[in-house]
Amino acid sequence: MIRYIIIDDEPIAHTIIEKFAMDISFLELMGNCYNAMQAMDLLKKEKIDLMFLDINMPKLKGLDFLKLLSNPPATIITSAYEEYALQGYELNVIDYLLKPFSFERFMKAVYKVNNDQVVSAIQQPENFTDDQSSFFIKGDKTYHHIRLKDILFIESIGSYCKVHTSDKAIVTHEKISAFTKRLEDHDFFRIHKSYIVAKQHIRSIEGNRIFINEHAIPVGQTYKVNLRKIIDG
């Protein structure tokens, strides 16, 4: 998980960030701070990976607070004032979110935090059972426990993925690249930029299409090597 805190004197800002973060499964809220002093105390007590930091706060401004930290967590600035952006980047902030910002913009900033850290958080060991046969994904504000044997295929739709199982389809914000990495040792194959299929559920292969139940899934030209692996496997 990526453990984060929110530092902002406006309660509505906390509400918005928390709501957005609920739909990103690898973010864990560790505390709400309404001024820099509260944040300083929390950073001394907890291991924090990421701060969402407002600039215009009473007593000690956000950027002045950031300058005081010798080894700050990854920081995403959230501010209504664009004129501080250059100063923020000079302090090596990850991103500068100009209020009001959309969920898509928020998610883009989070994925900048650290690519390796994000992948690690998505693939964290606690998401799996001891026999590596299941994991959890977050969709519709609910954590769904998915057994590998029930996954038919995974479909990428814009910034979302839809996990098709034997009895339902779950929409999640996890990227298809993360699923590719997670499932590569379990007979799942990326056969298109937008599709991963489970070998055990393939009913037939005809030309450049794979059939799973009633679904006809295209095979991308650059992924034909994986189709050969399925056939020869």
Q: Give yes or no: residues 9 and 104 share one domain.
A: yes
Confidence of residue 118 (pLDDT cuts 50, 70, 90): very low
Confirm whether 44 is domain-assigned: yes
Q: Give yes or no: residues 168 and 204 share one domain.
A: yes
CATH number at residue 13: 3.40.50.2300
Confirm whether 128 is domain-assigned: no
Work out the mean pLDDT of the chain and round it to a whole number: 87
Q: Give yes or no: residues 49 and 98 share one domain.
A: yes
Residue 5: burial class (beta carbons within 10 Å; 0-12, 13-18, 19+)? buried
Euclidean distance between CA atoms 9 and 7, whole angstroms:
7
Confidence of residue 188 (pLDDT cuts 50, 70, 90): very high
Q: Give yes or no: residues 146 and 71 share one domain.
A: no
Report the domain count for the chain.
Answer: 2
3-state secondary structure of 144: strand
Confidence of residue 86 (pLDDT cuts 50, 70, 90): confident
- Read off the tokens for 127: 């998401």
- Domain boundary among the residues 100, 121, 142 is at 121
| Amino acid identity at 41 | D
3-state secondary structure of 195: strand
Q: Give yes or no: residues 8 and 64 share one domain.
A: yes
Q: Give yes or no: residues 79 and 117 share one domain.
A: yes
pTM of the model: 0.53
**What are the phi and psi torsion angles at 93 (to 5°)?**
-70, 155
Strand 95-98 relative to strand 169-172, pairing: unpaired
Q: Give yes or no: residues 93 and 169 share one domain.
A: no
pLDDT greater than 90 at residue 190 = yes
* Whether 164 contacts 152, CB under 8 Å: yes
Confirm whether 127 is domain-assigned: no
Q: Give yes or no: residues 87 and 146 share one domain.
A: no
Q: Give yes or no: residues 20 and 117 share one domain.
A: yes
Confirm whether 78 is domain-assigned: yes
Structural domain boundaries enclosing 210: 134-232
Strand partners, 2: 27
Residue 91: predicted pLDDT: 86
Q: Give yes or no: residues 40 and 72 share one domain.
A: yes
**6-29 pLDDT, tens digit each:** 999 999 999 999 999 998 888 999
